């Protein structure tokens, strides 16, 4: 089975997800938003082993905890990011734009590509490139358990903002229609901000995608 621990962290209440394969104890952290030491403690408390950090995109509020998390882990885990967000990553995810400073952690070494398969124990996650909020935004889809870690693409009743550098409204709407709304209604959306939802619920009630 997969275990999921969610933590809401940082200045704009970003959701961090620790995802673990119970059989092997291997864990990944999706978007270590802040308080990397606390994330590491949650992993250690459960006797899990951090094998990788997966970033949905490179905004500062999704990786502000990566430095401390990596420093608390031996060996430091490799970081996965879509190359189209590398430039944003090098700018600390736009932190300066918001008057902040973060430690972005280890340089990403896993280049994510559309339809790439990532493995966690015996579980498989498909990388879905969904630009529009940022150019290199990806989502992580586990089809067998019906889970989509969708970052800042879509939220309960809303969508990601497109007014920041690299954002584009039409591109985002296209991504949502082709990469989210094509999934089964019962697919659970684990969003970068706010509560979780389901594809079928957003299909009915999200004013941006109806
Ligand atoms: Zn974002
Ligand atoms: Zn965000």
Q: Is the link from the previous residue into 5 a cis peptide, with omega within 30 of 0?
A: no
Q: 67 near 33, Cβ under 8 Å? A: no
139, two tokens: 């989502």
Mean pLDDT of the chain: 96
Q: What average pLDDT does range 96-106 have in this prediction?
A: 87
pLDDT tens readout for residues 106-127: 999 999 999 999 999 999 999 9
Q: How far is the CA of 74 from the centre of ligand 1 (A)?
A: 28
Give the tokens for residue 122: 């015996």
pLDDT band at 148 (very low <50, low <70, confident <90, very high): very high
Distance between Cα 62 and ligand 2 center (Å): 6
CA of 57 to the centre of ligand 1 (A): 7
- Quote the pLDDT of residue 98: 83
Q: State the pLDDT at residue 191.
A: 98
Ligand nearest to the CA of 57: 1
CB–CB of 190/150 below 8 Å?
Answer: yes
How far, in Å, from the CA of 24 to the mean position of ligand 1?
31
Q: Specify the residue for token string 């586990």.
A: 142
Give residue 17 CA to ligand 1 midpoint distance, Å: 15
pTM: 0.97
**With contact defined as beta carbons under 8 Å apart, do 67 and 41 qualify?**
no
pLDDT tier at 158, thresholds 50, 70, 90: very high
pLDDT value of residue 97: 81
Residues with CB under 5 A from ligand 1 (ion): 59, 152
3-class state of residue 205 by DSSP: helix
Q: What is the pLDDT of residue 100?
A: 84
Given this model, what pLDDT does residue 210 score?
72
- Residues 39-75 pLDDT 10s: 999 999 999 999 999 999 999 999 999 999 999 999 9
CA distances from 113 to 85, 96, 126, 165 (A): 12, 28, 10, 21
pLDDT at 101: 86
Quote the CA–CA distance of 72 and 83 in Å, as a whole number: 26
The pLDDT value given to residue 147: 98
pLDDT higher than threshold 80 for residue 200: yes
- 155 neighbors 198 (Cβ within 8 angstroms): no
* CA 60/CA 28 separation, integer angstroms: 19
Residues 6+ apart with CB under 8 A from 43: 18, 20, 27, 29, 49, 50, 73
Distances (CA, A) of 206 to 128, 160, 167, 200: 21, 12, 20, 10
Compute the distance from residue 56 Cα to the ligand 1 centre, in Å.
9
């Amino acid at each position: 089975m997969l275990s999921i621990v969610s933590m809401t962290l940082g200045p704009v209440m970003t959701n961090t997800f620790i995802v673990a394969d119970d059989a092997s104890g291997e864990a990944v952290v999706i978007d270590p938003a802040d308080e990397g030491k606390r994330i590491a403690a949650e992993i250690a408390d459960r006797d899990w082993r951090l094998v990788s950090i997966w970033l949905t995109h490179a905004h500062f509020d999704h990786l502000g905890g990566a430095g401390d998390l990596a420093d608390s882990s031996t060996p430091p885990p490799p970081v996965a990011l879509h190359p189209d967000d590398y430039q944003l990553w090098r700018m600390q995810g736009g932190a300066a734009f918001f008057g902040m400073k973060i430690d972005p952690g280890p340089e990403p070494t896993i280049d994510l590509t559309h339809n790439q398969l990532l493995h966690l124990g015996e579980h498989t996650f498909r990388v879905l490139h969904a630009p529009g909020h940022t150019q290199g935004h990806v989502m992580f889809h586990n089809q067998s358990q019906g889970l989509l870690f969708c970052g800042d693409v879509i939220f309960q009743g809303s969508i990601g903002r497109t007014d920041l550098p690299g954002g584009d409204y039409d591109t985002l709407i296209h991504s949502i229609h082709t990469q989210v709304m094509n999934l089964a209604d019962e697919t659970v959306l684990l969003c970068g901000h706010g509560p979780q939802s389901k594809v079928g619920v957003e299909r009915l009630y999200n004013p941006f995608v109806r």
